[in-house]
Structures are given as C-alpha cells and as structure tokens.
Amino acid sequence: MGDRTSGAVSLVLKDGSVFSGTSFGARTSAAGEVVFNTGMVGYPESLTDPSYAGQILVLTYPLVGNYGVPAREVEEGLLKHFESSKIHVKGLVVADYSTEHNHWSAKSSLSEWMKAEGIPGITGIDTRALTKLLRSHGTMLGKIVQSGEKIGFYDPNKENLVANVSPKKVEIFGTGKMRILLVDTGCKNNIIRSFLKRGVKVIRVPWDYDFTNKPYDGLFIANGPGDPKMCKATIQHLSQALGQEKPVFGICLGNQLLALAAGGDTYKLKFGHRGQNQPCTEAGTKRCYITSQNHGFAVNMKTMPKGWKEWFVNANDGTNEGIIHASKPFFSVQFHPEATPGPVDTTWLFDRFLRIVREGR
C-alpha cells in the first residue's frame, strides 16, 4: 500500500541551523532534544523505548520504514513487538522514508502509526551532515516545525522525565518462586520478558515506590530517560537497600542510579551513545562485546567510593559502561543486554544475576 509524504517542514536547531524537508507521520510541530541513533534496524523498538522521552530522534541509517510496523500482539501481559505501550520520541528525522513497506508481520506503515500517535516526522534531509553537526557541537535542542506554525524550544533535561514514563501502580508478572523487585524508571518490555523466560516472578513498582521494607529476593533498577539526578526518591531508596546487601542489578539509567546511591557522581555526555553497535570491553580483560545502547549520561568513576570497581569500558571513548562491587552482590551495566533491537551477546548478565540471587536465598 502506498504511503505519501507531503507538506513542507523544517528541523530547526538551537544554534540557528535549519534543515528543510518533507513531512510524514502526524502533521504537527514538536520540540525536544535532538539525538542520533546509529542502528540499521529496530525503529518500532526504539520509538517505544521510554528512554527516548523528550527527544527528537535522528536515524543515521538512510532507508527507514521499508518493513512497516507489526501488530499490537500481547504476550504475558506485555506488547510482544514493542518496548512500551506507546511512542515516546517527540519526533523522527530520516534521510529517506520508504513510502512502500513489505514484511510478513507488518500491520501498518510507519507513517500511519506515527499519525495515530500524533508524532511528526521529517524526511529528505541530509542526516549525515546533521549527525556530523551534533557530533562536533554536541546534543542540541531542536524543533520540527510545520509550514506556517510557531513553536518554542523545549529542554527535557530540566524536568523529571522518569516520573512521566513510570507506571503509577505495582504490577506482578510471572509466577516463579524467585521474586525480583523491578523499579520501573522507564523499563523496556524485553527486560521483563528476559526475566520471565528465566522463570521468575517480577514485581514491577513505580520509580518513587518505597521498597526498602518489602519482601523480595533480588532488586533490579531499570533504564529510563533524562538526568539521573532528578530521581531523588529512587536514589534514596536504593541507598537504603544497599545496606541490606541483597543482590542488585541495574541497566542503563540503573547503572547511573546505582552509582549515585553508592555515593558517586554522573555527568552529561557530549552526544551520548545510541545504537546497536557500541563496543565495550570487560575491564582487566581483552574481551569485547558489541552492545545496544541508548544513554546521554555516564558514571564518573573517579568519584566512586572504595569497594567499587569499573566493570566495562566503552572501547570508542573510554567512558564507563558498568560498575561492580568488590565484595557485595551489586553490579550494573550502562548498555542493554536485553537488546531489542541489537545483539544478544550479553544476555548472560541476567543469568549471572539470578544465579547470585539463588545462592543468596
């Protein structure tokens, strides 16, 4: 089925740069932080990743939309092909939107899906030039502006985005005997799926839920959007939980929150790591993993207190990709071992965590 693009639209950056193109998706304007992702596939998963809340996403791979969007199938209480229940990006920027799509699982086009959820897109611009600009200048505020409309800039890092994407109530998934308490700061569905595949019960709680005196066997801190220092309640509860010495595992934002709870510090990266091809080496070894990533902040290892060690390092820029305690069952990684999209080289981290939980019961 054909899927037309139409109408003049521009991407305007805070530094005054303007990229003109053609509209697809919803014919509306939107503002946010402009970031780029270097992955070749996986736009249904990326667009529904809560970590992209408040951001306009630039896809560096030029051809986007050719395999459409899958159906909203539900499995074990979660959407099977998406990472949350809705699109979280503010807008989408691509070089060449495919007006024709073809895939056995496709139920709609990317543009139709974006229209239904009120998300604008812009195609026909030089995303290579745009990415080079963001790499040299750093992440910038920007806005997708439809012809004739006026809209201001919006800085998502000035608000607690986690509070916007976290669930409002406690929910239980699975029936296993081992209880994993998952603090949902913007959790991707495949993290929950990864635990359910391993036969455990997942107790999902809101970001500010006080879990310090609740019964659980292992504690998991999820991914999520924005500045980790905005999550004051999560950091406070996690700091108290570290005193109980039950196993703790964190992914992405969870890595930053664990560092802050332990007494360390975090900082904003120039343009972040987003894509499915980020190489990470395990500290003290020559072992390198290709990982899926989506983050704009990182842990400052120089601020970590005694007993904490660097576990993984980004092979491109040397930034922290994981921390681990020398003697206690606490560890976290900055990348996404659950993938979706991306390589599954590090799924063994779930097994490691659950083995430690099992041994400590």
**Any idea which residues carry the catalytic annotation?**
252, 336, 338
Rounded-to-integer distance, Cα 71 and Cα 80, Å:
9
Cα 288 to the center of its chain, rounded Å? 22
Neighbouring-strand partners of residue 220 = 182, 249
Closest Cα partner for 43 from 52, 30, 32? Answer: 52
Residues 6+ apart with CB under 8 A from 16: none
Rounded-to-integer distance, Cα 276 and Cα 169, Å:
32
Name the amino acid, one letter, at 268: K
Category of 24 on φ-ψ map: left (φ > 0), alpha (ψ -120 to 50) or beta: beta
What's 216's DSSP letter? Answer: -
CB 60 within 8 A of CB 127: yes
In whole angstroms, how large is the CA radius of gyration of the chain?
Answer: 20
Residue with tokens 């439809």: 146
DSSP string, 195-213: HHTTT-EEEEEETT---TT
Question: To 10 degrees, the CA torsion angle through 189, 44, 348, 38?
Answer: -140
DSSP string, 57-71: EEE-SSEESTT-EE-
| Total length of the chain | 361
E strands along 248-319, which residues? 248-251, 265-282, 288-300, 308-314
Rounded-to-integer distance, Cα 320 and Cα 324, Å:
11
At 152 the three-state DSSP class reads coil
Question: To 10 degrees, the CA torsion angle through 101, 344, 278, 325?
Answer: 150
Neighbouring-strand partners of residue 96 = 63
